[in-house]
Amino acid sequence: MAKITSRSPLAPESFPDLPVIKGVRFSSVAAGVRYAGRTDVMLAHLAPGSTVAGVFTRSATRSAPVLDCQAKIGTHTDDGAAIIVNSGNSNAFTGRNGVDATRAVTSAVAQTMNLPEGRVFSSSTGVIGEPLPHGRITAKIAELVAGLDETGIGAAAQAIMTTDTFPKGAMASVDLPGGTVRIAGMAKGSGMIAPDMATMLVYLFTDAAIPAGDLQALVSGINDRTFNCITVDSDTSTSDTLLMGATGASGVAVTAQDTAFADALHGVMLDLAHQVVRDGEGATKFVTVNVTGAVTDADARTHALSIANSPLVKTALAGEDPNWGRIVMAVGKSGAAADRDALSIRFGDILVAENGWVSPEYKEDLGAAHMKQPEITLNVDIGLGNGAATIWTCDLTHGYIAINADYRS
């Protein structure tokens, strides 16, 4: 796996001071899954009575841990729950070994923590196609359980990283009629990022009391507006997993109709999604693509993804080249309805093109100045209707090639 030697220039200044979520404890260890001396396994324990929801990759080649989680997520008991995650090896495309390795890990956690195996969720991230050395993980279960601590989320966020250059965390506190509830989350993701769920691992926790069905509805709906709206390289992972646990330790009841809680959760999930893009492999630009005026919202999304995933658009962004012709190209090839003469393009607030031609007011130096900013906004109006969508992406640099050319070395 490529060695990452520098922090993304788009990274936040520091990992946030995440609040303790009562009812959740964390631990992490170095198990040598792929590299000696690297913290690479994390364990989270949720108190009895917690509800768990999740969304997963729709890849046709999804990993054994994803399939195992999907089989378990729809059931609920009042038992506690656990989430165990390893980095360095994705346990994907590993045949029967993948199933056996997943079962070995979840069974060991269940036995050590006195939990039903159906309440132990696992994730693996890293290289595809290599058998998971699960014995290195199971040998560390007792140590992980002994080290569980409610303040350990920061170290856990470090343990799940692969080519990430920084750990990703976000939080929110919400005052509700019944009292204050807290949300904390962590994520990993840097490459193989494309929205088909979205490509990364995400773990969210709250002390609110939320029925399982309501929690699933919140997670699924907000996911579609956050993680499903990011792309780094258009490639969808075999291992995408988002799990959320609600412990109920605050005693504050929440349902899917509580807009204040939903808004706060949306903020946490969007923050984490943006951090994944900001850590895109080799990224130097954080790019917002806004498409309006499409025939439908679905058409707007199609156009926005075509722009965000275009290698020509992304390399122009990397080169700080205000080449608006590449956006015209991306709209035209998307397959969604478009009309050359109805299209308008803006770099931020700068009108670049309209009525089938470059705007007479446009000055190349203004466009070039916008492209030099670390955060770039591309506003495209299709001019045909009321459909709208926003996608977040990054540029494509030599760094992306360097990281992925020797990913397994």
pLDDT tens digits for 172-209?
999 999 999 999 999 998 755 554 544 479 999 999 99
Question: How far apart are the C-alpha atoms of 238 and 231, rounded to whole Å?
Answer: 15
* Plot region of 408 (φ>0 → left; ψ -120 to 50 → alpha; else → beta): alpha
Share of the chain above pLDDT 70, in %: 92
Q: Are 310 and 391 in contact (CB under 8 A)?
A: no
Return the percent helix, strand and coil in the chain, to nearest 5: 35, 25, 40
Pair of tokens at residue 138: 């199971």
Q: What confidence score (pLDDT) does residue 369 get?
A: 96
Annotation marks residue 138 as catalytic: no
The catalytic position among 102, 199, 247, 292 is 199
Q: What is the mean pLDDT of residues 259-286?
A: 94
Strand residues in 295-349 grouped as ranges (E): 344-347
**Cross-sheet strand order for the sheet of 81-89:** 24-29, 41-46, 81-89, 120-127
CA angle 130, 135, 141 (to 5 degrees): 125
Under the banding of pLDDT at 50, 70 and 90, the label for residue 407 is: low
Q: What confidence score (pLDDT) does residue 1 get?
A: 41
Q: What confidence score (pLDDT) does residue 25 get?
A: 98
State pLDDT tens for residues 299-328. Answer: 999 999 999 999 999 999 999 999 999 999
- Burial status of residue 112 (CB atoms within 10 A of its CB: 0-12, 13-18, 19 or more): middle
344-347 and 41-46 beta bridge pairing: unpaired
Question: What is the greatest pairwise CA distance in the chain?
Answer: 71
Q: What confidence score (pLDDT) does residue 195 get?
A: 47
Residue 197: which H helix or E strand, with range?
A: none
Q: What confidence score (pLDDT) does residue 235 get?
A: 62
Question: Of 260-269, 273-282, 356-365, where does mean pLDDT reach its minimum?
Answer: 273-282
Q: What confidence score (pLDDT) does residue 197 get?
A: 47
Distances (CA, A) of 164 to 1, 40, 70, 116, 245: 11, 13, 25, 33, 24
Q: What confidence score (pLDDT) does residue 234 get?
A: 62
Residue 21: which H helix or E strand, with range?
A: none
CB-facing half-sphere around the CA of 244: CA atoms within 13 A: 31
Residue 287 has pLDDT above 80, yes or no: yes
- Residue 280 has φ and ψ, to the nearest 5°, of -55, 135
Q: What confidence score (pLDDT) does residue 62 get?
A: 81
Q: What confidence score (pLDDT) does residue 236 get?
A: 62
As a whole number, the mean pLDDT across the chain is 91
